[in-house]
Structure formats: C-alpha cells, structure tokens
Amino acid sequence: MSLSVTHVLIGLNVAAWLLNIAFGVDPLSPTPQDLFDWGASHVLANAEQPWRLLSSTFLHVGLLHLAVNMQALWVAGPIADAMLGRWQFLMIYLCAGVFGGLAAMVGAQPSTVLVGASGAVFGTMGAIAAGVFRHGDRLRQEVVASLKRLLWSFVAINLLIGFMLPGVSNSAHLGGLVSGFGLSYGLAAPGSPPHEIRLRGTLILGLALGLLWGFFHWLTISGASGR
C-alpha cells in the first residue's frame, strides 16, 4: 500500500511536533519564543524570512492543536485527493496554507507569532467545496449531501471556535478557505486528458505564486509604512 499525500502531510506535522519535543519544547504548551525558533510565522520577521509562512504550517501550539488539525485533514484529505489528484491536492494544500498565513498577518500585532495547519486544512475544505460546486452533477446525490454537511459543519464549528477562543485566527481560516476554493475552481475536472490537467495545473500554480508574491509584497510594504 503506497503512502497517500494525506499520510505524508500528517506524518510531517507529527514529525515536526516530535522533533520539537526531542529538543526540549513543551509538548502541550510551547512558548512563543520556542515556536519562533522553530520557524513560526512572525509579522516582522516574515519580511526578511518569507519561508516562515510555509514552515509555520507544520508547527502547532501543543498536542491538542495538532490533533484537531490532523483529524480534520485525515477526513478531508482523501476526499480532496480523489477529486484533484495527489499533486494538485498537494499544491492547493501548501498554497492555501501560505495564503492563510498571509491573511492572518492582516491587522495582527507586529510581535504576533502564528503557527498551525488550519489555513491549509480550510483550503482543503475549499477545494472540496469547489469540486462539489463544479462537478456535483457527476456524483450521487447522497454523496453530495454528505459532503455539504461535512463542509458546513466544519466551517461553522471552526469559525465559532475562532470567535470564542483567543489566539485562534479566523483570518487564516478564511484566507485558506477562499484560496483553496478559488484555486481549485480553475483546475481540470477529474478524468480530463492528462495534457489539460498539466496545463491548468501549471497555470493555476503560476497564478497562485503571483498572487502570493503580490499579497506578501503589499503586506510587507504596509507594515513598513505603518511602523
């Protein structure tokens, strides 16, 4: 049995948490400095170290944070993989994670430390929503109904948690959700000819990178002018 993209992503997230523990980071409540040292997104540091926007998506504020995100990925990942194919799913996951990280920076305090896979997981849900919206007529109605229940319940519960608990960024959630939906909407439909899948995938990747660069540039310029 070959490893799926979902298995690999969960494995990387868990491995990052275990590696943190091995080097003395508290497994349940790491400090902001610990997270920063391991590559957390940071409003000021990101301008010089943009790689933090990606590395931060594999870090979590303790075991509970990790478990919640990985459980959601375990459920949603195989569905998105089946709809998009493994490489397109991986592209959407990573791009949505970075978009979510950028969205979380909007209005954040300069010293804010940001971590977590929730933007990427919301992007995965956005990808599923795009698939249902575009290709729902190809699926059995009971499958469509089940997917809609999954999407609505996941989004509603997690946004509610974001409003109730301090330190949870609904900006990251919405940034991941919208980017995952928008980017996936332009991808080739399942079963399309391979050349169409490659062409659309390449164009969407180029669009995503361009938007990410523009968003990042705007945020860093805005942050510099606001200091």
Active site residues: 118, 173
Exposed/middle/buried for 119, CB within 10 Å: 0-12, 13-18, 19+? buried
**Under DSSP, is residue 208 helix (H, G, I), strand (E, B) or coil?**
helix
DSSP 64-78: HHHHHHHHHHHHHHH
β-bridge partners, 42: 113
Token readout for 46 is 């990101």
CA distance 92 to 179: 8
Q: How many CA atoms lie within 13 A of 64 on its CB side?
A: 3
- Beta bridge mates, 114: 41
Q: Using an 8 Å Cβ cutoff, are 200 and 186 in contact?
A: yes
- Separation of alpha carbons 226 and 221, rounded Å: 9
CB burial of residue 141 (10 Å; 0-12, 13-18, 19+): exposed
CA distances from 91 to 122, 164, 207, 209 (A): 14, 31, 12, 11
Is the distance from CB of 25 to CB of 76 less than 8 angstroms?
Answer: no
